[in-house]
Amino acid sequence: MDKLLRIALVVNTFPKLSETFIFNKVLGLTQAGMDVTVFTSNKKSNYRAFEDRLSLIQPLKVKPTLIGRGFLGIFLGLLKIGFTKPLEAMKLLNKSCLLYPKNLKRIIRAWVLALPLKLGYFDIIHFEFSGIAVSYLDALPLLKPSKLLTSCRGAAEQITPIIEPDRKMQLEKTFGYLDRVHCVSDDMVNTAEKLGLKPSQAFVNRPAIDINLFRRVQAYQGKSKGPYRLISVGRLHWKKGLGFGLLAVHQLLDSGYDVLYDIIGGGVEEEQLLFMIHDLGLTAYVQLYGSQPAQVVRQRYEKADICILPSLSEGLSNVALEAMAMELPVVSTNVGGMGEAITDGVEGFLVPPYQPEIMAEKAALLIDHPELRIRMGKAGRLRVEKDYLIERQIRNFIFEYKNLG
């Protein structure tokens, strides 16, 4: 009989609308019989948006780390541990002292970071973003003999090392302590190797979606008159390139196309997008819906004709997979691993980033040819059914965990 693995997944916030893929992973592992505990450093959550799916399983085990709780929260957490497991806590403190002699700050930091995870006696500790793993760098040696993993998903590997010069060195050191590193695409493996990842550490497990949730209720009819509805989904962050999406829509309108544009997501760039919408005269044509639960997103896909993904940086977009599962053709920038999910001219079109005129050109082609929309939509659904099922992703994670555990 297989050993029941104790798995810790470390995130910032759980569950989070913009990180539904983390929730899906926790749900899938739990339904597969794994003993999963989620550690969070942030009290915020979007539980209400996941209520319908939480009813499918036993209550999830979600625990706070000691960081992100303020001085009083850390003190009370340490006090509780001191009463319940004093010997284990002191042994870990002694190990931290041996690791970082004469550096009190690092001693305390490593100890506080490691305590909740170490005292859980986990077989597997998976930091769901490499940036989180970097923040635990001092504590990683204390977490052995647990097997340590992280995931490379996009921005932390593609963007942060450009903005923060020390990040490349930090990632290289972090990778040195890890047993395995999950990458969302082949392109991400190449990116991470330039940051110090050894090829033997990497495994690719591509994003996946629940095709039962993202399934059309009514067959797409391929309408031949407008308004044609375009849709983008994603947090309002510059890397999503939504300003270029607005420029593409502006060009379509200037060319006489009857289009509307729905943007679903929340984030720091809302002010800029609102300004652009007003400045480009798009107020009557563009709707910002804010962050929405999966069911609402699915309903908006159902009403759409084309999904556009104008991103400047991506690992491999879950949004594109959702749209493909909903039988929408996708016009995506050819960044990151997007070329691994979309074959240009089959499930959609791949266009260069920063060039909204080409995105508009491809969207116009789809508008002019309803049969092309239908054909690409059906091809997208088949591609997701073949390569991007959530069941496949969960099996791959369990395989990797069991090989380590």
Lookup: tokens for 114? 């490691």
DSSP-assigned beta bridge partners for residue 287: 262
Average pLDDT over residues 301-314: 98
Q: What percent of the chain has pLDDT over 70?
A: 99
Mean pLDDT of 292-311: 96
Check residue 56 and give its pLDDT.
65
Per-residue model confidence as pLDDT tens digits over 141-153: 999 999 999 999 9
Summarised one tens digit per residue, pLDDT across range 225-264 is 999 999 999 999 999 999 999 999 999 999 999 999 999 9
Query: What's the rounded Cα separation, in Å, for the pair 261 and 364?
Result: 14
pLDDT at position 119: 95
Instruction: Compute the average pLDDT of residues 64-82.
Output: 85
99 by Cβ neighbours in 10 Å (0-12 / 13-18 / 19+) ranks as middle
Task: Give the model confidence (pLDDT) of 345-362 as tens digits.
Answer: 999 999 999 999 999 999
Lowest mean pLDDT of 7-16, 36-45, 205-214, 267-276, name the range: 36-45
Q: Residue 4: how many CB atoms within 10 A of its CB?
A: 11
Q: Regarding predicted confidence, which is higher, 77 or 365? A: 365
| pLDDT tens sequence across 370-404 | 999 999 999 999 999 999 999 999 999 999 999 99
pLDDT at residue 1 tops 60: no
